[in-house]
Amino acid sequence: MCTFNTLLKAEHLTEFICRFNIMSNKKVTKIGILCSGGDSPGMNAAIRAAVRTGLHYGLEVFGIMRGYSGMLEDDIFKMESRSVANIIQRGGTVLKTARCMEFYEHEGRKKGYENLRKRGIDGLVIIGGDGSFRGAQTFSNEFDIPCVGLPGTIDKDIAGTDFTIGFDTAVNTAVEAIDKIRDTADSHDRLFVIEVMGRDAGYIALHSGIATGAENILIPERKTYIDDIIQSLQEKEKRKKLVNLIIVAEGDDFGGGDEVAKYIKQKMPQLEVRLCILGHIQRGGTPTCMDRLIASRMGYHAVECLVEGKHNVFVGIQNNRMNYTPLNEAVKKKQRINEEWLKIVKILAT
Ligand code: F6P
């Protein structure tokens, strides 16, 4: 039955499609898959899903090694169902990944296009972050190759999706490490400053900090008032609370874990302060069930997009439903920090 609501939705859909020019009648027959930017756990599950869905729809599927670099260097190979056997549980990416400077130049992109053209590749699945999507958008504008993105980054810094592939694993890795650090903090009455990744986003810090009961969480999205932290540490010291975990996102405006630890040591030399930078352990390892699941769903839907003629979007999941955001929109927006979460940190960390 056609209700007002469905009419309204259809109207919006048409407006959306016209505004962003995301539909095309071009029939895709051969697709290339690549990973770009930093690796993230779950990328292999996404590759597997895209390859097998492509084959299911009768497409020829090609793997492109080391992201856009492999496209430029013609490091491209045909993939079959067996090419992606036994990889769903593996971290990293079997296609390898890289950040490619040459792809920023028109000449570089043209070289990549020529390599696709000689094989007849007429659609691309790009697994990466917002920088990779920016490259895909420019490439598609120039050479009319439909591109569909999958958000693969531990940073979760892309609007239009509640999850990015790899975030859940990275957070769980951080939580496991922080729990272990707490044992030592507790045994020795120490204050630990723990720096987590996230580039200029604070999601890994916020999620892992709340989940481990950290006393303070410093994120790039908010100014760090370091003297307020000192004051609260002094109050806690009076109450004989000496165990403290301070989670610092690497992009925090005070300068990251190193600077925070130094400042606290200088202001409160009586405390035993230790710094631990978790670093790249957050990028590797076996993907969690959650990451495998979203990667599989997203990989499947990315190929469906290409088959249906929906191009230059990235596939996200919002409120457990698939969501398609134009690639150029993903570039502009960042996710917003939930104010309530910050309030929870304050109330619980007493
Ligand atoms: O984007 C993922 C990420 O791990 C960030 O959290 C971090 O800032 C950056 O990549 C590190 O990059 P690299 O591995 O090149 O040092």
pLDDT digits (tens, 9 = 90+) for 63-109: 999 999 999 999 999 999 999 999 999 999 999 999 899 999 999 99
Q: pLDDT of 222-266, one tens digit each?
A: 999 999 999 999 999 999 988 899 999 999 999 999 999 999 999
Q: Which residues are catalytic?
A: 155
What is the number of the ligand 1 atom nearest to the C-alpha of 197? Answer: 6
- Give nearest CA residue, ligand 1 atom 6: 198
DSSP string for residues in 195-244:
EE--TT--HHHHHHHHHTT-SEEE-TTS---HHHHHHHHHHHHHTT---E
Atom of ligand 1 nearest to the CA of 37: 1
> What pLDDT does 21 receive?
55
Strands 123-128 and 30-35: parallel
Provide the pLDDT for residue 15.
47
pLDDT in tens, 180-221: 999 999 999 999 999 999 999 999 999 999 999 999 999 999
1: pLDDT strictly greater than 70: no
C-alpha 102 – ligand 1 centre gap (Å)? 20
Cα gap 227→119, rounded to integer Å: 61
Task: Spell out the domains of the chain, with CATH numbers in brackets.
Answer: 12-165+287-330 (3.40.50.450), 167-284 (3.40.50.460)
| Ligand 1 atom 15 nearest Cα | 38
